[in-house]
C-alpha cells in the first residue's frame, strides 16, 4: 500500500474517497467533477481489514512517550496512522477494535490519577472512554505510595496536613475495573505490576498488624475482573527499602519480609481468581505477634476469622483507653 494514500471524508453513500481535499461552500447545483480517487469502501470488508493491519500499532504502547523522539509502534518501523480513525463512521467502526485490540497497552495508577496514552485521566464522570473496552492486552502498574493507599487513614499518621485529593487511589482503580468488567470489555490478558515505595513502609511500620488487610483493601476491586485467558502478577520493592539502616529502622526490614511473603500469597490467590482457576478460601497469614522476618511462623486463618480477630483487638484497645 502506498504511503502517500490518505483516507478522508465520505462522499454520500458511494464510499470514502482517498483524498485530503474537501470542497467547501460549493454551489449545490454545480455537479461534482469526475474524480479519479479510489472508492475504498467498495472493497470487501475482509480486504479492508488486511489493509488496516499496515496502519495500526503492533508493538506494546507505553504509558509515556516523547513528542520529540517518538519510537515506532510497528515491527516494520513504519509510522502508524491514527488519523484514519477520524475518516468516517464506517471506517471507525471497522478499525477501532483492530486498533486497540492488536497491541498491548500500558496503564499506570499512581497517586490519584490514571495515566495512559501520554495523558492523565481523572474519573470526573466515573467512567473512561469507551475505547478502553476494546483493549485485549493490558499492562497495568500499581504503586503503593503511602497514606493514600491505607484503608483506615488517620490524620496523625501524616502530620497536620489537611490535604485531601479529589480522587483517591480507590476511585481510580474502581473506575478502571468497571471498564474491564466481564461482559463489558474484551480484555484477555493482563500483566499486573505491584510496587510499594519507601513512604508506604514508613506508614505500615506504625501499624505492623495491618499489612495483609491493607493489601487486601488495595487489591479488592481487581477481583471483579475474571475469566481472563492469561494473568501474570509480579511484586516489586525498590532497592532503597533494603538499603535502610537496619540498626535505626529494624521494624521496616521485618515488615518488608512480611510484605513479600503475605503479598506473594495474596497475589497468587488474586491471579487464580482472575484466570478462573479454583481458589482455596484460606490463605497463609502471619501471626500478628511476633512479627518474624524469617517466614517460619504461619497459621491458616480464613478471611472472616482475620476480620473478627482484628475487630476484637480494636474493641479491647478502645475499652482499655476508656478505662
Contact (CB, 8 A) for 157 and 209 = no
Closest C-alpha to 79, from 137, 20, 3, 1? 3
Closest C-alpha to 241, from 297, 267, 203? 203
Give Cα 208 distance to the centre of its chain. Answer: 28
Domain range annotation of the chain: 41-102, 104-150+165-288
- Distance between CA atoms of residues 172 and 115, nearest Å: 10
Higher model confidence: residue 237 or residue 72?
A: 237
pLDDT in tens, 228-252: 999 998 888 877 666 666 666 666 6
- Distance between CA atoms of residues 34 and 261, nearest Å: 72
Report H helices in the chain. 45-52, 89-101, 169-179, 198-204, 211-219, 239-242, 250-275, 303-322
Contact (CB, 8 A) for 42 and 66 = no
- Distance between CA atoms of residues 6 and 19, nearest Å: 6
Q: ∠ CA 219-221-226 to the nearest 5 degrees?
A: 100
pTM, rounded to two decimals: 0.66
In the predicted model, what is the mean pLDDT of residues 71-76? 75
User: What pLDDT score was predicted for residue 105?
Assistant: 92
- Total residues belonging to the chain: 323
Whether omega for the bond prior to residue 290 falls within 30 degrees of 0, making it cis, is yes
User: What pLDDT score was predicted for residue 291?
Assistant: 33
Whether the pLDDT of residue 83 is over 50: the answer is yes
Closest C-alpha to 182, from 141, 220, 229? 229
Least confident of 14-18, 73-77, 106-110, 166-170: 14-18
User: What pLDDT score was predicted for residue 287?
Assistant: 34
Q: 106 - beta bridge partners? A: 139
Higher model confidence: residue 128 or residue 158?
A: 128
Least confident of 75-79, 90-94, 98-102, 306-310: 306-310
Q: ∠ CA 84-85-86 to the nearest 5 degrees?
A: 90
Whether the pLDDT of residue 308 is over 80: the answer is no
Is the dihedral angle over the CA atoms 270, 273, 274, 275 positive or is it negative?
positive
Average pLDDT value over all residues in the chain: 70
Contact (CB, 8 A) for 176 and 227 = no
Q: 121 - beta bridge partners? A: 114
pLDDT in tens, 95-140: 898 889 988 999 998 767 888 887 888 777 677 888 889 999 999 9
Helices (H) then strands (E): counts for the chain: 8, 10
pLDDT in tens, 180-230: 988 888 999 999 998 887 777 777 777 667 788 888 888 888 888 988 999
Amino acid at each position: 500500500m502506498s504511503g502517500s494514500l490518505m483516507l478522508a471524508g465520505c462522499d454520500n453513500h458511494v464510499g470514502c474517497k482517498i483524498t485530503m481535499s474537501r470542497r467547501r461552500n460549493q454551489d449545490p447545483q454545480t455537479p461534482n467533477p469526475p474524480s479519479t480517487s479510489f472508492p475504498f469502501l467498495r472493497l470487501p470488508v475482509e480486504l479492508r481489514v488486511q489493509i488496516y493491519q499496515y496502519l495500526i500499532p503492533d508493538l506494546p504502547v507505553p504509558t509515556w512517550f516523547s513528542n520529540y523522539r517518538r519510537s515506532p509502534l510497528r515491527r516494520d518501523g513504519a509510522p502508524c496512522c491514527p488519523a484514519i480513525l477520524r475518516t468516517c463512521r464506517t471506517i471507525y467502526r471497522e478499525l477501532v477494535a483492530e486498533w486497540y485490540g492488536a497491541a498491548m497497552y500500558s496503564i499506570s495508577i499512581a497517586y490519584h490519577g490514571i495515566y495512559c496514552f501520554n495523558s492523565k485521566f481523572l474519573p470526573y464522570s466515573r467512567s473512561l472512554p469507551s475505547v478502553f473496552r476494546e483493549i485485549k492486552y493490558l499492562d497495568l502498574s500499581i504503586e503503593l505510595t503511602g497514606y493514600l493507599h491505607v484503608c483506615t487513614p488517620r490524620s496523625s499518621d501524616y502530620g497536620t496536613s489537611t490535604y485531601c485529593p479529589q480522587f483517591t487511589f480507590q476511585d481510580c482503580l474502581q473506575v478502571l475495573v468497571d471498564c474491564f468488567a466481564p461482559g463489558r470489555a474484551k480484555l484477555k490478558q493482563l500483566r499486573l505490576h505491584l510496587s510499594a515505595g519507601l513512604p508506604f513502609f514508613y506508614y505500615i511500620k506504625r501499624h505492623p498488624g495491618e499489612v495483609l488487610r491493607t493489601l487486601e483493601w488495595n487489591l479488592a476491586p481487581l477481583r471483579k475482573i475474571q475469566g481472563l485467558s492469561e494473568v501474570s502478577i509480579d511484586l516489586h520493592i525498590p532497592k532503597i527499602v533494603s538499603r535502610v539502616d537496619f540498626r535505626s529502622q529494624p521494624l521496616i526490614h521485618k515488615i518488608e519480609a512480611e510484605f513479600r511473603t503475605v503479598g506473594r500469597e495474596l497475589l497468587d490467590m488474586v491471579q487464580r481468581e482472575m484466570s478462573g482457576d479454583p481458589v482455596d478460601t484460606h490463605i497463609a497469614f502471619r501471626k500478628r505477634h511476633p512479627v518474624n522476618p524469617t517466614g517460619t511462623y504461619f497459621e491458616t486463618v480464613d478471611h472472616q476469622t482475620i476480620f473478627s480477630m482484628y475487630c476484637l483487638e480494636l474493641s479491647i484497645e478502645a475499652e482499655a483507653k476508656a478505662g
